Amino acid sequence: MTVFHGTTIVAVRKNGRVALGGDGQISIGETIVKSQATKVRTLKGGRILAGFAGSVADALTLFERFEEKFDRYPGNLTRASTELAKDWRGDRYLRRLEALLVVADLDHVFLLSGTGELIEPDDGIMSVGSGGPYALAAARALYRDERLDAKAIVERSLEIASEICVFTNRHVTVLELGA
């Protein structure tokens, strides 16, 4: 699976809530060109959270395609994600898109890619991007702390990733769904 530089996205489902966050750094090569980008958003009237790693233009295309699939299969994140993954792998134009997409609702978290991956983690924790492995490890460790909710885990995981990964910064955006 491709790892994109300049992004860390992490999602956590815990206790009836889901949080998705991303850092704000955009790099071209070894140069930071923007430090306050927003790589996560709500979709479908706030029912879905989505974040991306990779090309912004490609991610925007994927957000649009995902919303079309969700309109076709209303309320069914699993089916919409499956259909997008199938299209993404099989369509010559979509296959060239350079991005990874993480989508989440209160019941599911999925990673989608152009190579056909549609992955739902066993533990409700997903992370992608250059700082993804660091954020994933941090989130899994923090998840055990009963005092921390999903949002706090995402925030702290991104902070830890920013201390390790040179392509991740501390300007984070975290979105949340749930009670």
Q: Give me the percent of the chain exceeding a pLDDT of 70.
A: 94
Please name each of the domains of the chain with its CATH number: 8-170 (3.60.20.10)
Q: CA-to-CA distance for 159 and 30, rounded, in angstroms? A: 21
The predicted model gives 146-170 an average pLDDT of 96
pTM (2 d.p.) = 0.91
**d(C-alpha 46, C-alpha 122), whole Å:** 24
Catalytic residue list contains 7: yes
pLDDT at 179: 64
Kindly report, residue by residue over 46-98, the tens digit of the pLDDT. Answer: 899 999 988 788 888 888 888 999 999 988 999 999 998 888 877 777 767 77
Q: What is the pLDDT of residue 100?
A: 86
As a whole number of angstroms, the distance between CA 9 and CA 75 comes to 23
- For the ranges 8-17, 31-40, 59-68, 93-102, which has the lowest average pLDDT? 93-102
Distance CA(20)–CA(18), nearest Å, equals: 7
> Residue 106 has which token pair?
């209160």
Q: What is the mean pLDDT of residues 18-41?
A: 90
Which residue in 7, 38, 115, 173 is the catalytic one? Answer: 7
